[in-house]
Each structure stands twice: as C-alpha cells, then as structure tokens.
Amino acid sequence: MTLKPSILTRFLLRRFFSGVGLVMLVVCGIIFAITFVERLPSNPTAVAALAESWTRLLEYVPLFLPLAVFMGTLLASYNLTKSSESIIVASAGLSPYQSSRPFLLGAVLIGIFATAVVNPYSVKLSNQTITSDHLKLIDGAIWLRESSDAGYITMNATGMRKSGDALEFQNATVYAQDTSFKLTARVEAENITLSDDGLNAARANVWDENGQMKTRTWQTKTLLNPRTVLDRYLQPDQISFWQLPSFIKKMESIGAPVRGHWVQLWTLAFLPLSLVAMATLGIAFSQTRQRRNYSFGTKFALGIITCFALYFLTNMFNALGATGALPPMLAIVAPQLIIIAMAATFIASFDTI
C-alpha cells in the first residue's frame, strides 16, 4: 500500500518540527539561563530580570535559528533512520529531492514566522526598555549633535535609558557654540533629560563663556527630540521588519547612510532562504548515514564546525554589503545560494552511487 503524498508530507513535517523544536528548546534554555544570571544583579527583582532575559533571547533568535534548523534536520533524519521509518519513506518511491521537500517547506514556514512575527514582537519589547546598548556608539559613548540658526549643540554621555516618552542620559556633557563655533557654555550633569521640550537637568554644573561655573537647574530648547534621536542612532536590528522600508526611504531623503539598514532588511526578507540553505545542508550531511559506515556523532560534529565556518562566511558577506563593497541584496543572497548549490550537488551525486 502506497502512502499518499499528503500523509507522508505531514509525517515528515512533524518529524522536522520535532527535531528543530527540541534543538530550539535546548539552545533557548541555555541562552535564557545564562542571560538571566547575567542580568539578575542589574535588575531590582527576579521578575524584571526574567522579562529582560526574555527580550534578549528574542533578539538572539535570528543568530542561532539557522544553526537550529541545521541541527534539527540532522536530528530528524537520524531519528528516521534509527527507527527504520526511513525505509517506509524510501518505499514510497521518492527521490531524495522529493523526500526533502517537507523539510524545506518547514524551513520556509519557520523563516516566514520569524521574520513576520518574532522580529516585530522582539523589537516592540526591546523599544520599551531602550538603553545605550541599542544605539550606535562612538568610542563606547553616545554623541549627539544639532545645528541651527542659533549655533551648535554637542552632547556626549556614557549611558542612556528610556523614561516614559523622554530619554535620560547619564554622565552627560553638553557643549553650546555660536555660529562662529565659539564656545558659549559647557554643562555637566549626572542626568540630562531630552524631551519634546528640549534638554533639561535638575542639577548641573554650568560654565559660561568666561569660564565661570554655577550649579543650578538648566534647560535649553532643541530641534532634537526623542523620536529623531532614536531614528538617527538606533542600530538597524532595533527597527521592525515592517517599518524598515519606510524608515529607509525617510533616511535616504535626508541623506543619512542606510547601508546597514538595507543589509538588515534583506537579511530578514531572505531569512526563509537562509533556513532552506541550512536544511539542505543538513539533508546533505544526513545522506551518509544511510549508505556509508560513518559515525553519526562524527558527522554531527563536522556539521556543526561547517555551520560555524558558514556563519563567519555569511558575516563577511554582510560586512561587504554594509561597507558598500557589494550590493546589500547580493551580499545576503549569494552565500545562501552557494550553500544550496553545493549541498544539492552533493545530494544528487550521492543518489547516483
């Protein structure tokens, strides 16, 4: 009796999702535990540390998801072979390409879900507790600059956190200059708040243009506001996939560099392709289990090493895209197509033996 393709597809999909789910559970558990221990001292309660650890875990998902799909594919294939269920699959008369379709379909579904749902949810949680870790830093510090008809304002700070609708900067120094770049004031404060009304500090040391210092409250009107600061200085991975196209268009209209944002957009858009590449690689590694007398543990270890090598290769292409050496879209797609081509070639050649 021949199994119907739909039944076989559902069976293999369940096996694939079980393998990937088990790997994700282990990896997420380890990362969550480490992050919780790391964040516990800096949070007032254990619940707050748990919430921050959950947010951080979601930020790490795109990093380890390709590895999880590869390991899950290997695990699913190994379980099929160990339980002799692979014999049933082979008896259906399917080629390696046909039997791998459910795995590739599962990888696409996981990629779409991660891009369309997990990423926006992660960014939403992260934006509720924005810190200096989410900003582009220069020499480990935050630097803001504003120019207007009245002159220039430059501020640097060692830390930042979101407080309601305002941004609070720690250990901040503000330099005010006129249109001829003459220093007119210097302000130092432990905390300076940026709101829609401008910059203000409850207690600050203020030096005038003559070098006289007074300790007092301080405030000044600025064109900067919390939204413009976040738009200009947020790292690309802190912007939702659905918001990236309009954000890139807006930043391009004012002449701001957006190569990193293009790389992030194409990385998320082609995440399903990346997972398909890793699933194909996992299928290629699993082929040897059925026809060669190799140790599964050895192949599993070699597969992990290969994944890390490909991870660094992908990061190299991403860097080339971010610096403009390659078009961002090509920098993201090329490594995945290379992986798919090499793995598919191996599967095809192995099937002819």
Please report where in the chains the tokens 């996981």 appear, as a residue: 110
First to last CA, the chain: 28
Query: In the structure, what pLDDT confidence band is assigned to residue 292 with cuts at 50, 70 and 90?
Result: very low
What pLDDT shows up at residue 300? 74
Q: Which of 62-76, 254-268, 276-290 has the lowest mean pLDDT?
A: 276-290
Query: In the structure, what pLDDT confidence band is assigned to residue 176 with cuts at 50, 70 and 90?
Result: confident
Sequence-separated (6 or more) residues with CB below 8 Å from residue 63: none
Q: Are residues 121 and 269 in the same domain?
A: yes
Last residue of a domain, one of 187, 211, 233: 233
Mean of the pLDDT values across residues 300-317?
82
Q: Are residues 290 and 331 in the same domain?
A: yes
Q: How far is CA 286 from CA 68, 135, 325, in A?
A: 15, 42, 36
Expressed as residue numbers, the domain containing 312 is 5-130+264-351
Q: Are residues 108 and 35 in the same domain?
A: yes
CB 24 within 8 A of CB 68: yes
Query: Is residue 255 a part of any domain in this protein?
Result: no
Above 60 in pLDDT, residue 33? yes
Last residue of a domain, one of 233, 249, 274: 233
Q: Residue 213's beta-bridge partner residues? A: 207
* Alpha helical stretches, state H, the chain: 5-39, 46-82, 85-91, 96-113, 119-128, 226-233, 244-253, 259-269, 271-291, 296-323, 328-351
Q: Which of 65-69, 125-129, 154-158, 288-292 has the lowest mean pLDDT?
A: 288-292
Q: Which domain CATH number covers 216? A: 2.60.450
Name the domain count of the chain: 2
Q: Name which of 160, 127, 168, 154 is nearest 141 in CA terms.
A: 160
Query: Is residue 179 a part of any domain in this protein?
Result: yes
Residue 134 carries which DSSP code? G
Supply the pTM of this predicted model.
0.75
Q: Which of 63-67, 94-98, 312-316 has the lowest mean pLDDT?
A: 94-98
Burial of 305 (0-12, 13-18, 19+ CB in 10 A): exposed
Mean of the pLDDT values across residues 31-39?
88
What pLDDT shows up at residue 353? 45
What pLDDT shows up at residue 3? 47
Query: Is residue 245 a part of any domain in this protein?
Result: no
pLDDT tens sequence across 72-124: 888 887 777 766 566 566 555 666 677 778 889 999 999 999 999 999 998 88
CB 129 within 8 A of CB 52: yes
What pLDDT shows up at residue 109? 94
Residues counted in the chain: 353
Q: Are residues 28 and 70 in the same domain?
A: yes
Mean of the pLDDT values across residues 137-157?
79
28: left (phi over 0), alpha (psi -120 to 50) or beta: alpha
